[in-house]
Structure 1
Amino acid sequence: MLRCLHDKDVSQLSIINELALGYSFSEEKTAQQLTKLSADDHHFLLGYGDPETGEFLGYVHAQIYESLYSPTGFNVLALAVHPEHQGKGIGRCLIAGLEDEAKARGYAFIRLNSASHRLEAHEFYRRIGYDGDKTQLRFIKLFEEGNDD
């Protein structure tokens, strides 16, 4: 069952992010980000709860993608399902919910990036109608937390 994300999901969100995506991020920081992003109209967060138990099992997080060279769309920042529940249609349901939201807003596309080693994820995206159109490298410069320099 698709639903909004709630504060009570923070613990499970943190676990899913680590197990499904490989990102270790504390519950405290997850809670801070959830509060901040939930209040930002440029972010769309959609969760999936087990229809029988209500247990939080996965989520999709997308951000509005706007540029000077394309119409408006969504950029998927995360699609994650607890590994014990993968392969049950939850990811497909979350993407369908995101697609419905994109269409309702009149957006032209949904885009996403997937690491080159995530071959199973690539097959999933192809099965649900997404085309891999290019290969990229990600460049990043990290700054110390709280450093204003």
Structure 2
Amino acid sequence: MLRVLQETDVNAICEINKEALGYSFSPEDTASQLAKLSQDSHHFLLGYEDAANHVLLGYAHAEVYESLYSKAGFNILALAVLPQAQGQGIGKSLLKGLDQEAKRRGYGFIRLNSADHRLGAHAFYEKVGYTCDKVQKRFIRIF
């Protein structure tokens, strides 16, 4: 079932990030970010919980995407499902939840970036109605 992410989800989020995305981020830092972002209306944090045992199996994190060249929309920062729970419709449910929230807010689109080597993810996004409209490189400056 879909629900908003909660403080009690921190360890599960860390596990999902590591197993599904390959990111290691401490529980303390995850808790801090979750507390901050949960209070920010420009961020939407949605979880998928197994209804029987109340275990978080996946989550989506979207932020408001606004620019001077488009209407407002959502930018998906994370969509992650535990590998052992993939293929059960959880990612699709999370995206439907984002669709509903975006429409409720009057947004015109949802966008996301996906690394070029994540071919399985690309096939999934296309299967659920997303189209690839450009290929680009990301540049970052770390301090």
TM bucket (normalised to shorter chain) is over 0.9
**Aligned counterparts of 1:7 and 1:56: Cα–Cα separation in 2:** 12
Q: CA RMSD in A?
A: 0.5
Gaps of at least 5 residues in structure 2 are none
Gaps of at least 5 residues in structure 1 are 144-149
Structure 1 residue runs of 4 or more that deviate by more than 3 Å after TM superposition: none
**Aligned counterparts of 1:130 and 1:20: Cα–Cα separation in 2:** 20
2:74 is matched with 74
Q: Which amino acid aligns with 1:62?
A: A
**Aligned counterparts of 1:7 and 1:101: Cα–Cα separation in 2:** 21
1:52 is matched with 52
Q: Does 1:99 align with 2:105?
A: no
Deviation (angstroms), 1:21: 0.7
Which has the greater radius of gyration?
1
Give the alignment's TM-score, normalised by structure 1. 0.95
**Aligned counterparts of 2:105 and 2:141: Cα–Cα separation in 1:** 33
Give the alignment's TM-score, normalised by structure 2. 0.99
Deviation (angstroms), 1:52: 1.0
Q: Which amino acid aligns with 1:26?
A: S
1:147 is matched with none
* Count of residues in Structure 1 that have an aligned counterpart in Structure 2: 143
Deviation (angstroms), 1:54: 1.1
Q: Which amino acid aligns with 2:60?
A: V
1:137 is matched with 137
Q: Deviations over 1:13-45 (max 9, x none)?
A: 001101101111001100000000000010000
SS of 2:141's equivalent? coil
